Amino acid sequence: MRSLSTLLLLTITSLGFGQDWALINPAYRYNYSDDGTDTISNQIRVMEVDTLGVDSVLYTLNRIAFMCDTCPASLGGLCDGCFMWVDQPQFLRGSALHTPGRWTLTDPDTLVLLVPPVLGQNWVADPTGTVTATVVALEEDIYLGELDSIATITTSAGDTLVLSRSFGLVRMVRSDGTIYAGIGVEGPELGELFPDITDWFNYQPGDVLEYLHFLNGPNNGGTYTLYFWKTKDIFEERIDGESGYTITSTRGHVSPGNPSWEALPPQTIIHTLENGIWNTPLNQFFEHIDLDLYPSRISELQNTGTYFIPRLMRDNDGLLILTTDSIDHPIGALNAISYPSQNISELWPLNGERELLRCKENIGIILQGHTSNFEFSYSSELIGAVIQGDTIGTLTPDEVYFNTLSVSTYSVQRSFRILNTLCDTELMVITDPDVQLEWTIIDLNGRRVSTGMLAHTFNQVEVGSLATGTYVFMASSAQGQWSQRFVVAR
C-alpha cells in the first residue's frame, strides 16, 4: 500500500506539476458565469496571435461593450452622453504574453503569473513592484468533469485566481467581490458551451413555423396605414453539406379578408445555413443572420448597418434566448458609417429607431423587426411551431393557408414535369396542354439566375450557361406556384 501511494504521488507530480501550464489555448474558448448560474456571462477567446520570438507569443483577447447608465461620459470613442463603453477588455485583461515560465496579462493594468506554480512561491506581480502574488494551494481536483491539477494564487491587491493545468482560469475573485467562475471550455467541449448556429436553426422535414407580420407607416396622404398578414412554412426536403445545409419549405400566405382570412398561392422557399450564416426569406426585410457571437460583443444586426450588444438569458424551460440591449435601452440601436474600423468612433445612437432580434435555442427567430417614430415599422413574431414533433403555441389549420388541399397535394398537382433532372445544357420540361407558365431558376442561395416562359407542351430550357450544381426550377400561373429541383452536371 505504501509503494502504491508513493507511485501515485510520483505520477501526479510528473503529470501535473512538471509542465508549463497553458493559461490561454488559442484553440479553446473559455466560458464564465458572473452570477453563480449556468448562464454564460463572459467568453474569453483569442482574436490574434503574434509570435514575438522563438519562445515568446502574444495573444490578443476579445473585447466587449456594455451599457453604463450612471456614467457621465462614454469610453471607447463614442459621444459623451451615450452611456456606453465599447472596446473594453474583460476581467482577464486585454492581452496575454507567454514566455518560458511566465504569463504577463496586460490592459488596463499588468499582472504576472509564474508557471508551473509551486506551493508557497511568492513573486512581484506588477511592473511597479507594489503587488505580490503567492501560490497558497496546489492539489488534484475535478474541474468540468476532468481530474486535473489546480492551483490557487492570491495577490496583495486582493484578487484570487484559481488555475487549471489543462483548462486555464477556473475562477477569479476580484477585490470588489465579483466572481467569474468557469463553467465551460469549447474545444474539448466541456461544461456549458455557447450555442452553435445549428443549435438555433436546425430544421428537419416536417417542422413548421408560423409567423404574424405587421407593417405600418406613412402613406402618400400623410396618414398611417397598418398592414398585417400571416405565413406558415412547412419544411420538406433537406440536403446536408460540409459547411451547413439547405432546406426547402412550402409557404402559405394569408391576409385578412371578409369574412375570413384570404389565402394566396403557396410558394416554395429555400433556406440555407452555410459557414455560420442563416439565410431565410422570413419577410421582405431581413434575411441574413450571423450568430458568431459572444456575450457583450458589438455585433451587426442582419446586414442592416445597425449594431447591438447581445445578451443571453434562459426561459422557464431552460432554453437560451438571445436578445439585444438596444430593445430596452433608451438610446436605441447604434448605426455606423463604416465598420469594422480601427476604433468605433463612427457609431452613434439612433434615437427613435430600433432594430429587434430575438432567437430561441432549438426554435430560431421568435421576434424580429424595426421600430421608428417617423418611418415604417415592421415586425415578425412567431405564433406557433412544430419542432421535431413538439408543438409550440397554437397553429392555424393548413386548410386556411392551402384551401382544402394538403401541402403534399399541391406538390403533386404541379402543371409541369422535368424529364431530365440531371442535365448538361438543356432541361426538357413537359406542361399540361394549353397551359402557359412563367418560370424562374434559382440557386440554393435563393438568387434568381434565369427566367422565361413555358409556352408549349414540350419545352427546351437552356441551362448551358449555369455552373455545375443544384438548382430549383419554379413555374407559376394564376392557379399557383410549383417547383422541382434539378442538377447541372458536366
pLDDT of residue 328: 38
Burial (Cβ within 10 Å: 0-12, 13-18, ≥19) of residue 453 = exposed
- Grid cell 445549428 — which residue? 198
**Do both 318 and 278 map to the same domain?**
yes
Look at 439 and 48; give whichever has higher pLDDT: 48
Residue 56 is assigned to a structural domain of this protein: yes
* Structure confidence at residue 433 as a pLDDT band (50, 70, 90): low
Look at 328 and 353; give whichever has higher pLDDT: 353
**Do both 206 and 335 map to the same domain?**
yes
* Structure confidence at residue 44 as a pLDDT band (50, 70, 90): very high
Q: Left if phi > 0, otherwise alpha if psi is -120 to 50, otherwise beta: which for 245?
A: beta
* 335 has pLDDT over 60: no
* Structure confidence at residue 415 as a pLDDT band (50, 70, 90): low
Pick from 35, 14, 69: nearest CA to 331: 69
Residue 64 is assigned to a structural domain of this protein: yes
Look at 347 and 26; give whichever has higher pLDDT: 26
* 94 has pLDDT over 50: yes
Q: Take residue 330 and report the three cell numbers written for it.
A: 433608451
pLDDT of residue 359: 82
**Do both 110 and 52 map to the same domain?**
yes
* Residue 252 belongs to domain with CATH number: 2.40.360
pLDDT of residue 463: 92
Q: Domain end: 161, 191, 221, which one? A: 191
Residues 49-82 have pLDDT tens digits of 999 988 999 999 998 877 666 665 555 544 445 5
What is the residue-averaged pLDDT of the chain?
78
pLDDT of residue 221: 52
The residue type found at 323 is: T
What does the alpha-carbon distance between residue 168 and residue 190 come to, in Å, rounded to a whole number? 13
**Do both 181 and 276 map to the same domain?**
no
**Do both 10 and 138 map to the same domain?**
yes
Q: Looking at the 3D structure of the chain, how many domains does it have?
A: 3
Q: Domain end: 191, 206, 240, which one? A: 191
Mean pLDDT: which of 243-257, 261-275, 384-398, 409-423 is highest?
A: 384-398
* Structure confidence at residue 163 as a pLDDT band (50, 70, 90): very high
Residue 409 is assigned to a structural domain of this protein: no
What does the alpha-carbon distance between residue 111 and residue 132 come to, in Å, rounded to a whole number? 9
pLDDT of residue 409: 34
Query: Residue range 287-292: average pLDDT?
Result: 59
Residue ranges making up the domain that contains 453? 414-488
Q: Take residue 376 and report the three cell numbers written for it.
A: 415604417
Pick from 382, 324, 311: nearest CA to 355: 324
**Do both 10 and 118 map to the same domain?**
yes
* 147 has pLDDT over 50: yes
Q: Take residue 105 and report the three cell numbers written for it.
A: 496579462
**Do both 432 and 391 map to the same domain?**
no
Residue 222 is assigned to a structural domain of this protein: yes
* 43 has pLDDT over 80: yes
* Structure confidence at residue 487 as a pLDDT band (50, 70, 90): confident
* Structure confidence at residue 16 as a pLDDT band (50, 70, 90): very low
pLDDT of residue 243: 87
Terminal-to-terminal C-alpha distance of the chain: 72
**Do both 358 and 473 map to the same domain?**
no
**Do both 218 and 183 map to the same domain?**
no
Beta bridge partners of 66: 85
What does the alpha-carbon distance between residue 35 and residue 318 come to, in Å, rounded to a whole number? 16
pLDDT of residue 78: 46
Q: Domain end: 379, 402, 425, which one? A: 402
Q: Take residue 91 and report the three cell numbers written for it.
A: 476581467
**Do both 249 and 300 map to the same domain?**
yes
* 353 has pLDDT over 80: no
Cβ-Cβ contacts under 8 Å for 478 (sequence gap 6 or more) = none
* 239 has pLDDT over 70: yes
Residue 335 is assigned to a structural domain of this protein: yes
* 153 has pLDDT over 70: yes
**Do both 223 and 346 map to the same domain?**
yes
pLDDT of residue 337: 34
Residue 408 is assigned to a structural domain of this protein: no
Look at 154 and 318; give whichever has higher pLDDT: 154
Mean pLDDT: which of 213-227, 276-290, 427-441 is highest?
A: 427-441
* 106 has pLDDT over 90: yes
* Structure confidence at residue 333 as a pLDDT band (50, 70, 90): very low
pLDDT of residue 469: 82
* 162 has pLDDT over 80: yes
Residue 216 is assigned to a structural domain of this protein: yes
* 176 has pLDDT over 70: yes
* 32 has pLDDT over 90: yes
Share of the chain above pLDDT 70, in %: 68
Residues 181-208 have pLDDT tens digits of 999 999 999 999 887 888 889 999 999 9
* Residue 472 belongs to domain with CATH number: 2.60.40.1930
Positive or negative torsion for Cα 5, 7, 9, 15: negative
* Structure confidence at residue 331 as a pLDDT band (50, 70, 90): very low
What does the alpha-carbon distance between residue 462 and residue 373 come to, in Å, rounded to a whole number? 49
**Do both 204 and 321 map to the same domain?**
yes
* 220 has pLDDT over 70: no
* 5 has pLDDT over 50: no
Look at 213 and 15; give whichever has higher pLDDT: 213
Pick from 13, 246, 22, 219: nearest CA to 113: 22
Query: Residue range 275-301: average pLDDT?
Result: 67
pLDDT of residue 432: 66
Residue 407 is assigned to a structural domain of this protein: no
